[in-house]
Structure 1
Amino acid sequence: MSGQARWFMPFVILLLLTVGCSYEEQSQSGEMPEMIKVKLDVPEKASLHEPTRLQVKLTQGDAPLSHADHVQFQIWNELDDPPSVSPEQGMMTADELENQGAITAKEAEEGHYEIQHTFEEPGTYVVQVHVTHGAMHSMPRARIVAE
């Protein structure tokens, strides 16, 4: 082996080890976080003029998800759907939802968020919760009959 090759080989080996280790670190940190699971807990019926508790349970993996970025409830009579969002507009922000009457939930216990809502008119209502945590967004719906 010539003098240049002896000097060059350890450098190549060191370079390969460095690149291999940094690739492994990148793939570990670039993993996708587990999806959030949203379980909307709404009673089938509500009494008029009395507060009704509406809850949502959030988990990520097997653990309760505390400190979600936004948890907001939208409630409307199913006969009066809220204005839809155009594809160009994209997803509504938390402020836009609030401007349309969405109610921000408070964390009652670890991973459980809730609001109290009083139905003033009889009818069937749609309850949609908007949960945002990082880049994930979930919007499950349920129906409740107020009488």
Structure 2
Amino acid sequence: MKRKFLFLAFMTMVAFVLLAACNQEKQEENQPAVLNVKIKTDDHIELNKETEIACLVTYGNEKVTDADEVKFEIWKQGNNQHEMLKAKHEGNGKYVVKKTFTEPGTYSVIAHVTARNMHNMPKTDIAVGQASNMPAEQNHDHDGEEHHDHHSDVTIMLHEQQYHVNEATELTAHITHDGQPLTNATVRFEVWKENSEKHEFIDAHEQAKGEYKATTTFKDKGVYFVKVHVETNELHDHQVEQITVQ
């Protein structure tokens, strides 16, 4: 009788462990993956030398080898001519272009990546030519934490934070123009859930110089996109940010 009781207790414990493991696996499966793009390039590049500019594309823990499109937008700061180069996949989620820079200066690089019905566009700045002739630059190694606009003299950054369903959430954008806070602009947040045709537009208000805020409530968990629209009499620009609501 005692052996039978111990056997039943053992089997119950085994069943409990297996059930807990299954529940954990289901929870992990239900967690939405995020398209992540990380630019891989030197922050200082020699003149007249072929240079590799690359990005690593992942979706959750998966290396994306079949992205719909990967392009690099490259331009010299202060120059309105932007070059768009189509990248080739070299394996393990690494997409590459080759370029030779013939003029010294500070260049901006944006990786435009479309995959898994998502779009991500991180940006970084690189110095080309003699380092002693280059102004001090802050190199942004983006892995989803910051997102900047592709306009050469406008920078838009959505404040990073945690987002929770059914809670009033304050969206904050920091906007600069020519390195200075952009004030008295008309700013709106366009918000939509992944694969949804319904877009919500929310007017933002300037709380401090170059800082614009608006409040919204996310009704469902999942991946959302937030497009920050910026308008003044002289410019009209925008930036898209991908977020996850838990």
Q: TM-score range by the shorter chain?
A: 0.5 to 0.7
**Cα shift readout 1:75-115 (whole Å, capped 9, x = no counterpart):** 00111246xxxxxxxxxxxxxxxxx6311000011200011
Query: TM-score, normalising length from structure 2?
Result: 0.39
The whole-number CA distance in structure 2 between the counterparts of 1:36 and 1:68 is 10
Coordinate RMSD, CA, aligned: 1.7
Q: In the alignment, which residue of structure 2 is the partner of 1:95?
A: none
Contact 1:48 1:120 in 2 (8 A): yes
The whole-number CA distance in structure 1 between the counterparts of 2:126 and 2:51 is 10
How far residue 33 of structure 1 moved from its aligned partner, in angstroms, is 5.3
- 1:1-147 to 2 correspondence within 5 Å? 34-81=33-80, 101-147=83-129
The whole-number CA distance in structure 2 between the counterparts of 1:32 and 1:116 is 36
Higher strand share: 2
SS of alignment partner, residue 128 of structure 1: strand
Q: Which has the larger radius of gyration?
A: 1
Q: In the alignment, which residue of structure 1 is the partner of 2:230?
A: none
Higher helix share: 1
Q: With a CA cutoff of 8 Å and minimum separation of 6, indicate the structure with the bigger relative contact order.
A: 1
The whole-number CA distance in structure 2 between the counterparts of 1:50 and 1:101 is 18
**Counterpart code for 1:112:** K
How far residue 133 of structure 1 moved from its aligned partner, in angstroms, is 1.1
Query: TM-score, normalising length from structure 1?
Result: 0.63
The whole-number CA distance in structure 2 between the counterparts of 1:59 and 1:102 is 22
How far residue 32 of structure 1 moved from its aligned partner, in angstroms, is 8.5
5+ residue gaps, structure 2: 1-29, 130-246
SS of alignment partner, residue 83 of structure 2: coil
* 4+ runs deviating over 6 angstroms: none
SS of alignment partner, residue 108 of structure 2: strand
